């Protein structure tokens, strides 16, 4: 990891992003659990920082689901006004829609996967960290609840496995960030663990 990345402290902008994420996602929990959704957002930001994210990327990681889940275009505008164009563009790139209500699941996911090929390195970094944490959480939850886990997901088992494998394949062709190969390797391990569930 480059020394200049390690030497830059996070500022009040990051604290402000955490506060905004807490406010936006206050009533939201992880699918099928009582875990506050902010736990996922903090985990994604942590993974991003561990893999070389700068402050804008870390802020985008904290806010990566804000547009998709909490207000669409109006939330995107608020993020742009508060944190700048770069953060807003990363968040939008990591959102499968800014339309409320959301379009059909498969349509959104196919568009998202196709978009990853042309996404910025910063967007791919946040996306990889998001999918890595999600995949690990799915595996952990499966060991608690078994096959009924798949009922939580619009795509069911087959759609969910297709989506994570498709994202992995796109990211493999263009690894994100300064430790992108390692990150993609971690994601591949998590996807393989997903695919092994129930077999």
pLDDT of residue 2: 46
**pTM as predicted:** 0.93
- 3-196 under CATH 1.10.3210.10, yes or no: yes
Which residues touch 65 (CB under 8 Å, ≥6 apart)? 25, 37, 40, 41, 95, 130
Condensed to tens digits (0 to 9), the pLDDT of residues 64-106 reads 999 999 999 999 999 999 999 999 999 999 998 888 788 899 9
Condensed to tens digits (0 to 9), the pLDDT of residues 147-190 reads 999 999 999 999 999 999 999 999 999 888 678 899 999 999 99
Per-domain residue ranges for the chain?
3-196
């Amino acid at each position: 990891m480059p020394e200049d990345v390690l030497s830059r402290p996070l500022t009040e902008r990051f604290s402000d992003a955490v506060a905004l994420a807490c406010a936006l996602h206050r009533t939201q929990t992880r699918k099928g659990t009582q875990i506050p959704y902010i736990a996922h957002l903090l985990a994604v930001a942590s993974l991003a920082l561990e893999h070389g994210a700068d402050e804008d990327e870390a802020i985008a990681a904290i806010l990566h689901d804000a547009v998709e889940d909490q207000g669409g275009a109006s939330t995107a505008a608020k993020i742009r006004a508060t944190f700048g164009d770069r953060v807003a563009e990363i968040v939008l790139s990591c959102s499968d829609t800014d339309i409320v209500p959301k379009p059909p699941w498969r349509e959104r996911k196919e568009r998202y996967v196709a978009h990853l090929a042309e996404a910025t390195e910063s967007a791919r970094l946040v996306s990889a960290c998001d999918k890595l944490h999600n995949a690990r959480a799915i595996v952990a939850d499966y060991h608690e609840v078994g096959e009924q886990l798949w009922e939580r997901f619009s795509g069911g088992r087959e759609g969910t496995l297709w989506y994570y494998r498709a994202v992995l394949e796109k990211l493999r062709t263009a690894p994100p960030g300064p430790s992108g190969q390692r990150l993609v390797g971690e994601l591949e391990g998590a996807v393989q663990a997903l695919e092994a569930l129930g077999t």
